[in-house]
Structure 1
Amino acid sequence: MTMNEHGARILIIDDEPQIRKLLKVTLQAHQYAIYEASTGEEGLQQASLMLPDLIILDLGLPGISGMEVLGRIREWSNSPIIVLTAKDREEDKIVALDSGADDYVTKPFGMGELVARMRVALRHVAKSSNEPILQIGELTIDLAQRSVELKGERIKLTPTEYDLLKILASNAGKVVTQRQLLQQVWGSHHNETDSHYLRVYIGHLRKKLEEDSTRPKFILTEPGIGYRFLSRE
């Protein structure tokens, strides 16, 4: 799917008129086409009719909950969904991400941050056409050859390190939860209780990729939730 960020169709599902108005005015100024829904039922109907390029979803909706809306949309759509929520507990964020959300922004929020995350999500969709090579800044990952280069120099990774890096880089800009990483790399029988595996291997990757592993620029930790690979243009 090739998508021009400008003119992308954005569906806002939020029951607060002030929030919808703020988002509409700001996002229209960024050349997005804006559609609105104030309930979960209306949001599901709008999503199926206009097939948005990106959805901004409030979890605290009347009627059908935001989590149910998220799950039902994910049954048929891969459009990026950014959860906009007043719930700031780690557990709520983890459940939303594990249920298919691409990112989350906690209320009150900064419009600059939200727009930046939208751009990352839209770029990720535009680039997700099974490209054999991932190019992120000075990092090159050849998926066919399972090889990694940084600044033109080959980086030697173990199979586990490579699998972990591939998942993170393929979802650049998106939070990937500990459960998602553990199950995709080590198998479905693993969960958050095995998070020590992740800490060890993330540490190995940072030492090989980062100029200063104590101040990572590629792999950021989302405390208690997972990791985010920075999308660097």
Structure 2
Amino acid sequence: MSTSPADPARYNSFLMDLLGVMAYGELSAFERLSSDARYSPSLHDRAVLGRIAVIEFQHYELVSARLDEMGLDPEVAMLPFQPSVDHFHERTRPADWFESLMKAYVIDTVSADFYRAVALHVDASTRLLVERIQADEAATAVLRDRLKTALADDPRLASRLALWARRLLGEALTQARRVSFEHAFLGGLIGADEERSREMVRELTVQLAANHSQRMTQLGLAG
């Protein structure tokens, strides 16, 4: 656990990357959910996604404020991650409301697992920020309950959404590995060499996949 890094300048560089990707992830989630609300079958469901989008924007504001406190420009911190995150969302564009729900649920939960794992290696202030954001289970609970209701109402959705969830997981893990390797902030935060950094990323992706499989089982879907 990094409380007093040996090389503060290097640590802060990796920390800026971590906060930058978090901030842009939250901002893009807000934009995506706001846009996907158009698929909603009812005004109630549109309001559900709208409420979750607001939560994502509030999370973005928290990370952005932390960057400001560090004397860093949030836009500068986010820019390196914009192409890959945008490309990820282009590759995983949902076809309908149900796929939108599943995408929001998978990305929300996998991202939360990822950032909680990384937060074990950061300073106390940053760790509290990550925990505050990822401990907000309101959006996750709403998405999970709405998916359960949809699957109960139409069991034929199960096979399609199970396949979609597996695709989303694969894309999310690829994205996590790419960001971790290209920006090396996992190893950089603890001063690990390249070999150990890659080992950490491999271990983390295995755990992310296992957690996802457990959540899919809870939904009654194949993980």
Higher relative contact order structure (alpha carbons within 8 Å, sequence separation ≥ 6) = 2
Q: TM-score, normalised by structure 2?
A: 0.31
When you count strand as a share of all residues, which structure comes out higher? Answer: 1
When you count helix as a share of all residues, which structure comes out higher? Answer: 2
Q: TM-score, normalised by structure 1?
A: 0.30
